Chains A and B, each alone.
Chain A
């Protein structure tokens, strides 16, 4: 808990100083290639000419200042982030859920008989998926299943979260969103499950050497029961923790895949902020993602405490 807080404190400090330690004129970077309201520029310059310490204290008082505007969209950054949060949660939540179920299943089958046919096949494929840039996989899926290449009719939309004009609060609208979700979600599931399967496989292989499995066999349990009742519950603990710890890696996928599929979430917002560059927006997004990852780390620790009797007492 304390460590999470310290990490967060450093993110806030880093975020502040990074954009003020620039060589050259920070205002130039803020206003790069854009028509800025001259009054706003004067205001900015006045704020930046104050002593660094005073600036920092102002910033510390309110890093989540609701009045900070995006330089590109001229809207409060936290309002924009709030709007884009839900599409990202929908996409990542679905993808992580499916990927962990499938990935853990593959990891169990591969890790229980390492070196077997299933293991060689699945470890080979997961290594290839692991080596793949996720946005490239997304582009290829778009070309094959949406663009009508290779004579395959375009079954899925090329991007967005819904067809314009469709009411997303109606049941038909949900189906429409689901239809848009298929390709980006498949991309992320394939990339994430490779990671999860490798983790589950290696923690199950670690458990295989444990003596309590010999005891379970000596009791007369069949192989499948030894695996299900004894090996898997023990191997799941480190795996589930690692899934939560890998949220940083999940975020990377979200940024590029949302970009490729024009999925209007935080990832696409990052890409849009980058093209500016829209510094206040980028700062806020960085803070947002860092907090998400720190919270996920905290959850991972709490989960371990909740599920491992050895830590609990």
Chain B
């Protein structure tokens, strides 16, 4: 069953330098119970894509296309309906939990807030529900009385996860959930998140889907079912996670895979083999294939026309003239 579907999603930001396209026609689905990884460097549009799901983009963003959540287009929803959908059907784990949590509110109140808002749970049970959620993410229930600054980075990220699970949503969007943490804690938090989502997926109601966003292809390769690689606002390659990681087709994916080896090898994180060059500024994209200035195998065709995303193997899509030829 299809949980979420992007249909030719395009997002432009209006800025003083003119229109800046951040997402340029993304079409992809997330099935119930499935974890989709989205990989790419910063500025490739992956965070914009994630924020678009709950219409959390700033006013300067113009969004076109369709985002179907359980078959209903989010972009044409009325505000009241949208507010009801937010968090109860799709919840977000933000990347920097220090800034994403309200600094002057106890974390128990922050976790309870969406429960009070979306579910008619008697006030007495809310406290025990918050305690349950905290225990689930490996924190003592007494932590509900703490303020965000009293927790460590890893604990704060656990609180974010507890909060995302509070209303048992059908979809969880985790945007770089572990980037701000150190390597050991990263692995723990990631295991916790994927574990909880998998447990929820074995339930009778079709299962929880997740979009996991990261610049680290190694992390995605081991935790996701499928991966989509984004470059300059477009998907350049997609397919089953392990296949993508072990046998990348697109030259950009190949570079990413080399830059971020499999997790569990902390040394390699600090000495990436490196991605030559910088990602292009979205407001000033090169002609043809946006990747061609950094591409080691680019030919003249790549400078002239942009390649379409086409099937290159069973379940595998790629947008490159040189793949399959």
| A touches B (Cβ under 8 A) | yes
Measured between alpha carbons, how far is A214 from B51 in the docked complex, in Å?
10
CB pair B114–A219 under 8 Å, yes or no, is yes
Q: Tell which of A83-91, A194-202, A284-292, A305-313 binds the partner.
A: A305-313
Q: Mark B72-89, 1 if CB is under 8 A from A, else 0.
A: 000000000001111110
Q: For chains A and B in complex, what number of residue pairs have CB atoms within 8 angstroms? A: 72
Is residue A218 within 8 Å, beta carbon to beta carbon, of the partner chain?
yes
B71-130 at interface with A (beta carbon < 8 Å): 83-88, 91-92, 94, 96, 99-105, 113-114, 117-118
The winner among A219, A221, A233, A310 for most chain B CB atoms within 10 A is A219
Q: How large is the interface on B (under 10, 10 to 19, 20 to 34, 35 or more residues)?
A: 20 to 34
Cβ of B104 to closest chain A Cβ, rounded Å: 5
Please determine whether B56 and A313 come into contact, CB atoms closer than 8 angstroms: no
Contacts of B113 in A (CB 8 A): 216, 219, 221, 229
> Would you call A210 an interface residue if the criterion is a C-beta within 8 Å of the partner chain's C-beta atoms?
yes
Asked if A241 CB lies within 8 Å of chain B CBs, one says no
Query: Counting CB contacts under 8 A, is A220 at the interface?
Result: yes
Contact yes or no, B104 A234, CB < 8 A: yes
Report yes or no: B99 in contact with A210, Cβ–Cβ below 8 A: yes
A226 CB, nearest partner CB in chain B, Å: 10
Q: What per-residue 1/0 map shows which CB atoms of A221-232 lie under 8 Å from chain B? A: 110000001100
A313 vs B103: C-alpha distance when bound (angstroms): 13
Tell which of A212, A229, A308 touches B100, judged by Cβ atoms closer than 8 Å: A212
Distance from A38 Cβ to chain B, minimum over Cβ atoms (Å): 66
B241-285 vs A, CB cutoff 8 Å, 1 = contact: the mask equals 000000000000000000000000000000000000000000000
Distance between Cα atoms of A237 and B105 in the complex (Å): 13
Q: Is B147 engaged at the interface, CB distance under 8 Å to the other chain?
A: yes
Interface contact B117-A212, CB-CB below 8 Å: no
Is A237 touching B87 in the complex (CB atoms < 8 A)?
A: no
Q: How far is the CA of A183 from the CA of B92 in the complex (A)?
A: 54
Contacts of A308 on B, CB cut-off 8 Å? 104
Choose among B91, B96, B104, B149 the residue that contacts A218 (Cβ–Cβ < 8 A): B91
A211 CA to B149 CA, complexed, in Å: 15
Question: A52 interface residue, CB < 8 Å from B?
Answer: no
Size range of the chain A interface in the assembly: 20 to 34
Q: Considering only CB atoms, which chain A residue lies closest to B149 in the complex? A: A310
Please give the distance in Å from B143's CB to the nearest CB on chain A.
Answer: 14
Q: A237 to B88, alpha carbons, bound, how many Å?
A: 32
Taking a contact as CB atoms under 8 Å apart, the answer to whether B56 and A221 are in contact is no
B124-163 interface mask toward A, CB cutoff 8 Å, 1 = contact, 0 = none?
A: 0000000000000000000000010110000000000000
Q: Which of A218, A222, A230 contacts B92 (CB 8 A)?
A: A218
- Known contacts: A220-B83, A220-B84. The answer to whether A309 contacts B92 by CB under 8 A is no
Q: How far is the CA of A56 from the CA of B118 in the complex (A)?
A: 71
Q: With A and B bound together, what is the CA distance between A211 and B83 in angstroms? A: 18
Known contacts A219-B117, A220-B83, A220-B87; is-contact A233 B105 (Cβ 8 Å): yes
CA distance A308 to B102 in the complex (A): 12
Known contacts A216-B102, A218-B56: does B94 contact A211 (CB below 8 Å)? yes
Interface assignment of A120: CB less than 8 Å from any CB of chain B: no
Q: Which of B102, B105, B114 contacts A220 (CB 8 A)?
A: B114
A149 at the interface (CB under 8 A from B): no
**A32 adjacent to chain B (CB < 8 Å):** no
Residue of A at shortest CB range from B99? Answer: A211
Which one of A217, A222, A230, A307 lies within 8 Å of B102 (CB-CB)? A230
CB distance from A225 to the nearest CB of B (A): 9
- Residues of chain B at the chain A interface (Cβ within 8 Å): 51, 54, 56, 83-88, 91-92, 94, 96, 99-105, 113-114, 117-118, 147, 149-150
Given contacts A218-B87, A221-B83, A307-B104, 14 further A-B contacts (CB under 8 A): A212-B100, A215-B101, A215-B102, A217-B86, A218-B56, A218-B86, A218-B92, A220-B117, A221-B117, A229-B113, A233-B105, A234-B102, A234-B103, A310-B147
Show the binding face of A for B, using Cβ within 8 Å.
210-212, 214-222, 229-230, 233-234, 237, 307-310, 313
Can you list 14 pairs linking A and B with CB atoms under 8 Å apart? A211-B94, A212-B99, A214-B51, A214-B94, A214-B100, A215-B102, A217-B86, A218-B87, A219-B86, A220-B114, A221-B113, A222-B83, A310-B147, A313-B150
